[in-house]
Amino acid sequence: MSDLDVTPLKHPISQQLHDDRTRGERLADGIAHKIGSWRFLIIQSVAVGLWVVLNVVGLAMRWDPYPFVLLNLLFSVQAAYTGPILLLAQNRSAQRDRIMVEHDSATNHRSEQLIEALLSEVLRNSQATLAIASFHGIRLESLTRHEDELNGKVDAMQEQLAEVEDVLTVHRIVPEAV
């Protein structure tokens, strides 16, 4: 396992996107991982410090005297290559995030349907219990109140779910019903 694979990928979508990378994508991810590390920043800072010290204090060879034109050129070349490489890695990350959001949205939609079905089943069971009690002549004022409260809660929950779905649909997070 390379040092790029610090933590195992647990989600199947992340694992698939990781496994399906091209050679260029793996290279961009690896370079972005290295450039975005403290180790790189420290090594680069030490190298620049040594460069400046050797060129200012150095008695023998001053290959890049102040204002350090060669050092500036090296920084420009580094920026010209690392900028696009970092953007490639960011684009891959954004693509993975979009796919994960779509997956999460579909999962949330299925969960919402399941919750609605369960609430509906609880309501039907409560109504059946009340019908059985009524058939046997049992006075259940508290159960009737409970049924009314339960109906109110179910209605309120359905209104809240409808509002959330409206907001998500407006922001195009939840796909339109077919």
Distance, CA of 44 to CA of 100 (rounded, Å) = 35
pLDDT at 47: 94
Judged against a pLDDT cut of 80, whether residue 167 lies above it is answered with: no
CB 28 within 8 A of CB 85: yes
Take residue 2 and report the two structure tokens written for it.
């390379």
Label residue 121 left, alpha or beta by phi (over 0 means left) and psi (-120 to 50 means alpha).
alpha
Residue type, 145: R
Give the rounded percent of residues in the chain with a pLDDT score beyond 70.
Answer: 86
Copy the structure tokens of residue 32. 């972005």
Contact 76, 22 (CB under 8 A): no
What amino acid is encoded at 8 in this protein?
P
- What is the percentage of the chain residues whose pLDDT exceeds 90? 22
Question: pLDDT at residue 1 above 50?
Answer: no
**What's the sign of the alpha-carbon dihedral 88, 91, 95, 96?**
positive
**Residue range 34-48: average pLDDT?**
93
Q: Residue 86 corresponds to which tokens in the numbers above?
A: 């970092």
Residue 33's nearest CA partner among 79, 100, 93 is 93
Mean pLDDT of 128-151: 76
| DSSP state at residue 7 | S
Q: Which of 33-37, 99-103, 113-117, 141-145 has the lowest mean pLDDT?
A: 141-145
Q: How far apart are the first and last CA of the chain?
A: 45
Query: Which tokens go with 153?
Result: 């809660």
pLDDT at 113 exceeding the cut of 80? yes
Contact 133, 147 (CB under 8 A): no
pLDDT (0 to 100) of residue 8: 56
